[in-house]
Homo-oligomer: A and B are copies of this chain.
Amino acid sequence: MLLPPPLNPPPRPLMGPGPSDIHPRVLRAMAASTVGHLDPYYLELMTGLQQMLRELFCTKNELTFAVSGTGSAGMEAAVVNLVEPGDPVVVCINGVFGQRMADVAGRAGAKVTIAERPWGDVFSPDDLAPVLKSARPKVVGIVMAETSTGAWQPIEEVSKRVHDAGAMLIVDTVTALGGIPVEVDAWNIDACYSGSQKCLSCPPGLAPITFSRRALDHIRARTTKVQSWYLDASMLASYWGTDRVYHHTAPINMTYALHEAVRIVLEEGLPNVFARHALNHRALKAGLAALGIRYAAREGRQLPMLNAVLAPEGVNEAKVRSDLLSRFGIEIGGGLGVFKGKAWRIGLMGYGSRSSNVLLFLAALEQLLAEQAHSFSPGSSIAAANAIYRK
Contact = CB atoms under 8 A, between A and B. Distances in A.
Contacts of A260: 6-7
B36 A12 contact: yes
Given A7-B259, A41-B9, A70-B68, A251 B34 contact: no
A263 B7 CA distance: 10
B204 A37 contact: yes
B9 A256 contact: yes
A161 interface: no
Nearest to A79: B229
B248 A70 contact: yes
In the complex, the count of this chain's copies comes to 2
B35 A331 contact: yes
A20 B203 CA distance: 22
**Main SS of chain A's interface residues?**
loop
B41 A266 contact: no
A71 interface: yes
Nearest to A103: B229
A39 B325 contact: yes
A37 B195 CA distance: 14
Given A70-B68, A70-B248, A228-B107, A19 B1 contact: no
Given A4-B51, A9-B256, A259-B7, A36 B331 contact: yes
A29 to B, nearest CB: 5
A294 to B, nearest CB: 25
Contacts of A249: 18-19, 70-72, 195, 197, 204
Interface in A142-197: 195, 197
Given A31-B27, A69-B69, A203-B251, A229 B104 contact: yes
A314 interface: no
A230 B79 CA distance: 12
A21 to B, nearest CB: 8
Interface in A187-236: 195, 197, 203-205, 225-230
Contacts of A108: 227
Interface in A66-105: 68-73, 76, 100, 103-104
Interface string A243-281: 000111111111011011001001100000000000000
